[in-house]
Amino acid sequence: MLLSTQTQRLQNKFGYEKAFEILKGAGYDAFDLSLFHPIYKGDPLFTDDYRPYAEKLREHADKIGIKCNQSHAPFPSSVGEPEKDETIYKSIIRAMEIASVLGAKYIIVHPKQHMPYRKNAAKLREINIEFYKSLIPYCDKFGINVAVENMWQMNPIGNKTIVDSTCSRAEEFCDYIDSVGSERIGACLDIGHVSLCGEDMSVMIRGLGGKRLKALHVHDTDGYRDLHTLPFTSENDFGLVMKLLAEIGYEGDLTFEADSFFHSFPVEMYPDVAAFMAKTGRQLIKMFNESK
């Protein structure tokens, strides 16, 4: 099991190459390349010369001895406006290519959820099955796999509470993966999102099983806010999480999506914060191994 983390906070502050160096120095085996937004102004990975730059980043990562194990595609995957959605779709395809150049095995692609979920669940399912099937030829072309993520929405009444969305329940998450029916499409379980929607962790992890579950977004939450902070700092039971992952024979990596933990610290301390986060990740992997 490799230990990895997203690059967002560090790449925004220091650039890609320095971010990789900080993560390597902090003790990570790998990184999750953050390609969050459909259009990055000034980002060399979203210019016409993106591929040579991606190849340069791959060379740098190889030289310093750190891998790109996965990546996160631009999101949201749709807004319900055809012209904008076409731009987003093209950016997702580009992100797949970039991630493949860096060596990522999986790229996480959010399901489309631009409509209120409860009364549009069937329509969203139809849209998303077609959407993920359309990505399979690009998976084959670039030699990369796609992982679907479990999501949440804000309550449209008051917009202050979190409610269910696509794949927030184990049954639907499994149905999405099975209905697409390709080895190229697996599941990325966002641990925090499970808690935010009030799903039972054991039902979700056991439901997905080792066959469907290919990647993780590991972070803590209080059950009310999508905190994306470090495990053991809020309310999730990570002893249970690691035990369940061991029980199903999970064979993927442990990847943090917990960059909000950096928020309260001065930038000068970011390398130290990254190192503490890595130490926390090693503890989680130790718990996983001890549960086997």
pLDDT tens column, 66-107: 999 999 999 999 999 999 999 999 999 999 999 999 999 999
Q: What length is written for the chain?
A: 292
Tokens representing 207?
């439901």
121 vs 40 pLDDT, higher one? 121
Domains contained in the chain, number: 1
CATH number of the domain that 23 lies in?
3.20.20.150
Q: Which domain holds residue 123?
A: 3-290
Q: Per residue in 228-285, pLDDT tens?
A: 999 999 999 999 999 999 999 999 999 999 999 999 999 999 999 999 999 999 999 9
pLDDT digits (tens, 9 = 90+) for 139-168: 999 999 999 999 999 998 877 899 999 999
Above 70 in pLDDT, residue 39? Answer: no
Range 49-53 average pLDDT: 94
pTM above 0.85, yes or no: yes
